[in-house]
Amino acid sequence: SGCTATQTVLVAISGTNPTNYCAIQSAFPWVEWISNVTFNTINNTSVKNVYNDFTTQSTNVGLGTTYALSLESSFSWDTHDEYFRVWIDYNRDGIFQEPAEIAFSGILPAPAQFGSSGTLTGTISIPATADEGLTRMRVAMARNAYPAVCGTIDLGEVEDYSVILSNTGGGVCSVSANASNVLCHDNGTNTDPADDTFTFDLMVTGNAAGPGWTTSLGGQSFSGNYGVVTTFGPFPISGGNLNFTVEDQNDPACSDAVSVVAPAPCSSPAVCSIASTVSNIQCNDNGTNADPADDTFTFTLTVTGTNAGIGWTTLLNGQTHTGAYGTGVLMGPFPISGGALNFTIQDQNQSGCTTTESVVPPAPCSNGGGGGGQNYCASVSTFPWHDWVAGVEMGSILSTSGKNTYTDHTNMSTLVLPGDLVTINLTAGYSWFTYDEHWSVWIDFNQNGVFDEPAELVVSLLHPAPPNGTLEDQIST
């Protein structure tokens, strides 16, 4: 048998970098220039020049792989929009063919501060069909418009580098994912935080990476290209923060973890408020107009609500009362001797939505035996059949009656205070013929059982007869 041996041979991809590339230079690089180029293992900072030949600097890149790119421009004083373009001679024929060999294009907006610098980032994806070997990369920058690949740039700068294209790859894959622009959405219900959602933007960059990235979020798969912003969502804010992993499409081990904090809800719950009013406080002598001890009172409670529930409720003297907003509810009777009523009104749906109310009872409407009741002098009509008192209105008193020799309305009362100016409406009723009517009204102010004149004569007037056939005629005084 023959004698055999094995040996490992390292084969380096090499070649001659074509030198017949078209010439390019800047006519005026003194105001703005390329101050840094970072691409894979190249990280070169430079000064202004009409042309910078950095072809002695090279980097290995893999076919079908994506790499991060960073381009920095510096300014002497005034800043301007700068248009960057990068070419790579993928087929190594000494010509930058367009558009196939335009590896990157981008615009750097003018930095706000004079004399500062700005950085434009992106990615370059090496075609899987590129020709292996040494080739050239050209980086050019021009003010306000993209530069041509050859010739003279009026304002800007140009730099050339070397790139080694290899099917065995170049560099270690790395992925960087950053979330931004996290926004809340109220979904058209700005008073209901429960249905608020959020979206966010995701920028993924890759170096020595595949053609794109992939991730799984909320049970759904997503994918995208490196260097391109992708918007995610909507997601319910109530679901909390999102944690997920972004992976390179070719190498799942090349990944980056992302955490997105859910924003605070952007809907504000409507604030409930209620208010109450008390009206029509009435005394009732309970049929014993000489005994104030059993006098009671009632009142009307009206509650209004804003952003409130279906109605209101309150606990008063051990009894629960409810009502609808905007509708008056008769409350009582309550004993006058019990004093003022102080209570809290609460929304039926929101216990924290309340208002308080205080009701002062009226004075007793019974005379208490102090000259009132049956002690007053008798007064009757001998002939009420043609004309009679048909109605009396004063405060909460609203009485109507037919013809009678005497009518007792002492079960009706109203509250008046010293100094009050009170309107009294008096209505006369007629069978057919009408007459001049002499009206007199007394009030026993000192409650001594006697209508003293003239002190307690509050109305004394003559009202002319209306036309015959008038059934009722009212005067106001």
Task: Write the CATH number for 83.
Answer: 2.60.40.770
* Domain's final residue, options 233, 260, 287: 260
Q: How many angstroms from the chain centroid is the CA of residue 79?
A: 40
pLDDT of residue 454: 87
The answer as to whether 279 is a domain residue is: yes
Domain assignment present for 245: yes
Phi, psi of 153 (to 5 degrees): -95, 125
The sign of the dihedral angle between the CA atoms of 140, 143, 144, 150 is negative
Whether residue 40 is found in the same domain as residue 131: yes
- CATH classification of the domain holding 235: 2.60.40
The answer for residues whose C-beta is within 8 angstroms of residue 55's C-beta and 6 or more apart is 17, 136, 160, 161, 162
**Domain-located, residue 368:** no
- Assigned domain for 283 exists: yes
Whether 224 and 277 share a structural domain: no
Is 275 strand, coil or helix?
Answer: strand
In contact, 415 and 404? CB cutoff 8 Å: no
**pLDDT > 70: percent of the chain:** 94
* % of the chain surpassing 90 pLDDT: 61
**End residue of a domain, out of 359, 390, 412:** 359
Please tell me whether residues 158 and 194 are part of one structural domain.
Answer: no
Rounded Cα distance between 43 and 284, Å, is 99
Same domain, 379 and 471: yes
DSSP one-letter code for 19: -
**Whole-number pLDDT of residue 16:** 57
> Has residue 277 got a pLDDT over 50?
yes
- Does the pLDDT at position 11 exceed 60? no
Question: What is the per-residue pLDDT for 195?
Answer: 93
Domain boundary among 260, 285, 300: 260
Co-location of 194 and 152 in the same domain: no
Residue 10 has pLDDT above 50, yes or no: no
Contact call for residues 76 and 115 (beta carbons, < 8 A): yes
Whether residue 438 is found in the same domain as residue 305: no
Do residue 343 and residue 386 come from a single domain? Answer: no
Q: Residue 4: its pLDDT value, please?
A: 42
Tokens read off for 114: 């004079």
Pull the structure tokens for residue 194. Answer: 């429960």
Q: How many domains does the chain have?
A: 4
Residue 367: the pLDDT is 67
Q: Find the helix or strand (DSSP H, E) in which 213 lies.
A: strand 213-217
Q: Is residue 265 part of a domain?
A: no
Q: How far is CA 229 from CA 83, 120, 179, 204, 240, in A?
A: 20, 15, 9, 7, 23
Instruction: Specify whether 216 is located in the same domain as 289.
Output: no
Amino acid at 444: D
Q: Give domain status of residue 223, yes or no.
A: yes
Query: 44 and 77, same structural domain?
Result: yes
- Say whether both 245 and 185 belong to one domain: yes
Q: Residue 417: name the closest of 445, 392, 441, 393 by CA.
A: 445
On whether residue 380 sits in a domain, the answer given is yes
Inform me whether the pLDDT recorded for 369 exceeds 90: no
Domain assignment present for residue 18? The answer is: no
* pLDDT given for residue 425 in this prediction: 92
* pLDDT, mean over the chain: 89
Mean pLDDT, rounded, for 34-39: 96
| Amino acid present at 316 | L
pLDDT in the model for residue 453: 86
Residues 179 and 158 in one domain: no
Domain range for 401:
373-476
Q: What is the pLDDT of residues 413-465, one digit of tens each?
A: 888 888 888 899 999 888 889 999 898 999 988 888 788 888 889 899 998 98
Q: What mean pLDDT is predicted for residues 275-280?
A: 95
Same domain, 352 and 227: no
